[in-house]
Every structure is written in C-alpha cells, then in structure tokens.
Amino acid sequence: MSPITQASHAFPAEHFLNRELSFLAFNRRVLAQAQDKNSPLLERLRFLCIVSSNMDEFFEIRVAGLKEQIRARASRLTADGKTPQEAFRVVALAAHAIVEEQYRIFNEETLPALAAEGIHFVRRTLWNDATRAWIRGYFDREVMPLLTPLGLDPSHPFPRLLNKSLNFVVELQGKDAFGRGSNAAIVQAPRLLPRVVQLPRELSDAPYSFVFLSSILHEFVGELFAGMSVLGCYQFRVTRNSDLFVDEEEVTNLRTKLQGELPHRHFGDAVRLEVANNCSRAMTDFLLAQVGLREEDLYRVNGPVNLVRLTQTPDWIDRPDLKFPAHAPSLPDSLGKGALLFPRLRQGDVLLHHPYQSFSPVIEFLREAANDPQVAAIKMTVYRTGTDSELMRSLIRAAQNGKEVTVVVELMARFDEEANISWATQLEEAGAHVVYGVVGYKVHAKMLLIVRREEGQLRRYVHLGTGNYHPKTARLYCDFGLMTANEEIGDDIAEVFKQLTGLGRARALKHLWQAPFTLHPNIIAHIRAETEAARAGRKARIIAKMNSLLEPEVIHALYDASRAGARIDLIVRGVCALKPGVPGLSENIRVRSIIGRFLEHHRIFYFYADGAESLYLSSADWMERNFFRRIELAFPVLDARLKKRVIQEGLRPYLADNSQAWEMKSDGEYARKTPGRAKPRAAQESLLKILV
C-alpha cells in the first residue's frame, strides 16, 4: 500500500475562504470572550493574553510563510485565488484591526473593571513617594545588575535581537565618558525578570497593585547613561520567522541537525515590529530600517507590547469569584478508585472524556505497565508531552526494568522540538528504542500499545487519543481517549508501529483509517455514500467536529453531498475554508465554532450510514498536511454504549449550544448565537454538570 498523493483538482477559487483570514476570524472570536460579561473578569484578562499568543504564532509561521513566498516571487495562488502579495495585504489590514481592538478593550474595559475590583496596574504618574522608593529599591536590587545597555555607534552596530524579546530604544543627548556622542541605545529586558511586579500590600489602598517592568525601566533608564540626557525611551518587540526547515532526506542524523538549528529560531527574519504608541516617528523609522521591515509591518500599541506575559497574573490574585469555578476531573463509573486497569479492560473498553474526566487513568495505565512483571513490551508515540512528564518517566522506568520499550518521538513537533530531543536522549540512555518515524512525514497519531503475558500467551492493550500525551493540556483541552483490549484493534496498532520502526509495505488494517494511506480515501468514500443515499431519497447525515477544515477535495465532496440533499453539520473550532449556506452549493451545510473555557480539540467523524451510524475519533483535522504529510489515525468506537456516549457528549451538546456557539455565514463572517427566549445552553457548562 503506497501513500496517497495529494489530489491536484483545480476547484473554483470562489468556493473557498482565505486560510489566514479564517484564522484571524477565529482570533476575533477569542477576543470576544475578553468582552463577555458572562465570563469571570480575570478569565477575560486571560483571553486577551491568548489573543496575543495566537497572534505571535500566526506571525511567526503563517505571515512569515507569506513573506517568504513574496520574497521568492512565488506565483502559486491561495485556494481562494489570491497571490501572496494580495493575501499579505488583506491579512495585514485584518491583523492591525484586531490588535487595535484588543488594546482598546484592555485599556477601556479590562483595566477599569479590574480597578473596580481592587486590582490596579499603577501608572508611573500615580506613584507616591513610598511606592517610588520601593520600586527604586527593586530596580537597584533585581533589575540594574542584569541590564546591559548597548550604545549605537560605528563600533556597536544595531544588535540582533531575540525573537519576541522586550526591548527599549533610548534617545540620548550629550557625550559619554569617552567623548562619544551617540544619540541612541538599546536596552534589552532580561528574560528572567517578570514583566509584572506586585507591590507590597502596605504601599497601596487596593488589595492588589502591580507595576509593569516597562514602567520601571522607563523611570530609571537614565541610571544607565550617566551624564547624558534621556530624550525618550520606547518599548518595542520584534517577531521573527520561527519555522524550522530541515531537509530530512539530506541529513544523516535528524536529532543532531535539529539541535544545531534550534538556536537559529530566535534569530530568523523579522516579520513584525511592535512599538509603544508614543514612539517618535524618527525612532520608529530607524527601528523599521534596522530590522528590515516596512510600514505595513509596524504595530503601534497603547500598552505593554507583550500581553502574553500577563497570563500568570490571575494566578497571583486570590479572588475565586473572578475566575472560573474550580473543576476536579472525575473518573468513569467503570474505573473505581484503585481499580486495576488490565483486568478491567478485559471486561470491555473504557472511554475517557477530558478535561471533564481525569487523565490519571492513562498515567496509571503506563505506570502499572512499567512495574508489572507480566508486561513484556511497551510502544508509544510522543508528539507533545511537556518538559515534566510522569508518562516519560514511566517509560524510562520500564526500560530500566528490562522491558522492550519503543518510543516514536516526533522531533519536528513545532515549538516542542527541544523537549522531545531531551526525552529522546534520556530514553536512549535508559535502554529504550527511540525512532523518529518516517522521513517526510510527521508522526501525529496518539497511540500506546502494551504487550502483556497472560496464561501462557501475549495479549495487547491499547490507548488511542485525539489529543497529546500531555497531562497539563489534558486539563484544558477537550479530547477523547479510548482504552481497549480488542484483539483486532491491537493487531492494527501493532502493524502501524511495525511500519514506523521497520521497513516494508503497509498491510491493510481491519478497523483503523491511517494517513497517508486510507484516511483521505475513506473520508471521501463515506461522504460519497451519504451523497448517494440522499440522491436515492434515503436519510443522509454527516456531523464532523475538528480544529480545521481546508482540504479542497473533501470540501467539494461535502458540497456535492449538500447539493444531493444530505444534512451536514460541521463543528470547526478554528480555520475553515468551506462556505456554508451558499444557494446551489452548500445550503444544507451549517458551520459553527465553539469558544469557551476549554479549548475544543477532539476530532469526531459521524456518518449516518443507513442507520449503522459509523463513528470515528481521530488525531487528524481535514487538512492537506494531515491527510498527505502526516502519520495519522482515525479509530472507530465499536462498543455501542460508548458510541452513544460520544454522540451525546461530543456532538449533540455542541449542535444545541446557543450561548458559546458562533455560526458562520457564507462570506466567512461569524455571528454569535444567543438564546433569546429559549433556555440557555452551553456545551461545556452542560458537560461539566453531567461528567462530575
């Protein structure tokens, strides 16, 4: 079985929405959460920070890619028919509008609302003598010793600044100790310092008072330039291209090559310049010239240039009434406290719905396996798992205990490369077999296989998931995990691991759909089966939940199904290139996005199938990269009771949501659903009540 190559069909450009604009529309929906009075105040502050984090990655990867295409004079059009130059122009306009609105909300809504609750971010103009004295002491003790002012002159050219680092450009007048008359200097804020500093309670009438590190540096920057006059001090930040390019077919050791490339990520080509809105025009032009950017790449902001660094501020504030209610994930009824997993799985499959249900059974599953003398082998894929992982420690312990441990580590997991290299090294040192998948394909499938000797024979136990083996994100991301001892599922997983670690042709799998072989053809085939059912006058129904929908052939298959009369609901959290509700094309398709307390992450594919209700969970979105350039899995829920659970928990609440749901119009704009006179329904809130 050979990999399926990407289809080369030329579909009409007017049938697609722009990918980058669709992402920015998603970020506008996140921004709306920062204004939602139904969300607790400190959570609204977090949503503002999430918007900044999303924008950072958007510029580091997507805008950087557009700029590379423009630089290379690429002629390839986007799916919606735009040249790279046209796409960049519309994206820049939309991005500027989002940033402007974000800071308006921050200054006009968030900060006043926080102040009303006794949470103050104190401006320099409001410091009293006692406050200023304390801050001066903090500056002398904690800040000044770490600062390295860089004067700009022929001997000291403009420095190569770290990606997204906080910097200050200082306008100066006068001469220094050597008689030099440079009129500018750069001061980089130390990365170890917090960007927000909490003031002692006795210095303020408010319960919580904070100052920005930028305010402290502004106030005392003159201390760095004795005998010279500071005419101006302006914070700024440069965002750089952070995508790594490694030609896997041209390197003999991918891990060594990546280790050499990672330091360069911080110094890629500049793609965005953020400056304080009080920065002088002359200094702004100077900075643009130094980093090689133009006016359209400039973002003037009224506030801190990096709101991401405010993310942890709510954790320092003991106000439960201003945060989401604490949530303790539950365990399924079938997994009582202290229950041994291997005997339980021999009785039947177990479904876990995170974050409503705990991730601890997965951790315990691997911990049991590592220590169980009957376990002979463990195989696992690792995409994102974090720098501190009990799962990885269990794998290391299993290898030390003499078990055959094989770990497929995806070194090209964006922004997790360094952590994955570290774990790969530790696993190898413990005696585990570590492989890096298949050249040219990212291993994105989430699977764990445990082989145990029972009654004289070997038995396989499996965990499959829609999300990463990452306990921290399992408390924040909505995902399903399936634990099973089904022999045929175990055979399929063993076959996939054999593909990843060895050589030879891929064999047909009994139950799993696998990219890049059968996932795309099976999705298309199931959509077409619903299309034929609709044409024949039978009931036809498709419901699909995912993060992104972009692949052109799948989109056009959905259009065909809609024209035939099939009823289609798509729950797409983020980017969606399909246009719903277009007469004669997609009037039977509805697209909605759910934005709430948790990040919607599970992928669920439902086809009515003449009443058989074919249901698959997956690690894959409906994108070209997932279908053709990744190792992905879609796995069926074979247990009728668990299949019903997935429909009742993973689909129906989202289709009924009239409070956190946004419905897409045919032009790509979204309108938030409101309950009106109906009973308010929010999928995540209802699941929190059900799965306790």
Q: What's the gap between Cα 256 and its chain centre?
A: 26
Neighbouring residues of 154: CB distance < 8 A, sequence distance ≥ 6: none
Task: Output the six-digit token pair for 644.
Answer: 């019903």
Cβ–Cβ contacts within 10 Å for residue 219, how many? 17
Pairing between β-strand 661-664 and β-strand 404-409 as defined by DSSP bridges: unpaired
511 is catalytic: no
Q: What's the gap between Cα 565 and its chain centre?
A: 35
Please check whether residue 534 is in contact with residue 559, taking contact to mean a CB–CB distance below 8 angstroms: no
C-alpha neighbours within 13 Å on the C-beta side of residue 329: 21
Identify the active-site residue in 15, 353, 354, 444. 444
Taking only Cα atoms into account, the Rg of the chain, rounded to an integer number of angstroms, comes to 27
550 residue type, one letter: L
Task: Output the six-digit token pair for 201.
Answer: 């309670």
φ, ψ of residue 157 in degrees (nearest 5) = -70, 170
Three-state DSSP class for 453?
A: strand
Q: Is 407 exposed, middle or buried (0-12, 13-18, 19+ CB in 10 A)?
A: buried
φ, ψ of residue 378 in degrees (nearest 5) = -135, 135
- Distance from C-alpha of 400 to C-alpha of 44, rounded to nearest angstrom: 46
Structure-token match 């306990």, residue found: 471
Pairing between β-strand 630-636 and β-strand 614-618 as defined by DSSP bridges: antiparallel
CA 223 vs CA 125, 417, 528, 589, 662: distances in Å = 19, 40, 71, 63, 52
Q: Give me the DSSP letters along 493-522.
A: HHHHHHHHHS-SPPPPPSS-EEETTTHHHH
Please check whether residue 478 is in contact with residue 598, taking contact to mean a CB–CB distance below 8 angstroms: yes
290 residue type, one letter: Q
- Distance from C-alpha of 485 to C-alpha of 508, rounded to nearest angstrom: 20
Neighbouring residues of 617: CB distance < 8 A, sequence distance ≥ 6: 464, 466, 480, 482, 602, 603, 604, 605, 634, 635, 637, 646
- Distance from C-alpha of 681 to C-alpha of 658, rounded to nearest angstrom: 5
Q: What is the dihedral of CA 368, 369, 372, 376, to 10 degrees?
A: 180
Strands (E), 456-574: 457-465, 477-484, 513-515, 541-546, 567-572
Three-state DSSP class for 244?
A: coil
Beta bridge partners, 409, equal 382
Looking at residue 357, what DSSP letter applies?
Answer: B
- 3-state secondary structure string across 76-137: CCCCCCCCHHHHHHHHHHHHHHHHHHHHHHHHHHHHHHHHHCCEEECCHHHCCHHHHHHHHH
Q: Reading across the β-sheet that carries 119-121, which strands appear in turn?
A: 119-121, 208-212, 196-198
Three-state DSSP class for 156?
A: strand
Structure-token match 């729950």, residue found: 571
Among the listed residues 181, 286, 267, the one whose alpha carbon sits nearest the alpha carbon of residue 227: 181
- Distance from C-alpha of 603 to C-alpha of 545, rounded to nearest angstrom: 5
List the catalytic residues. Answer: 444
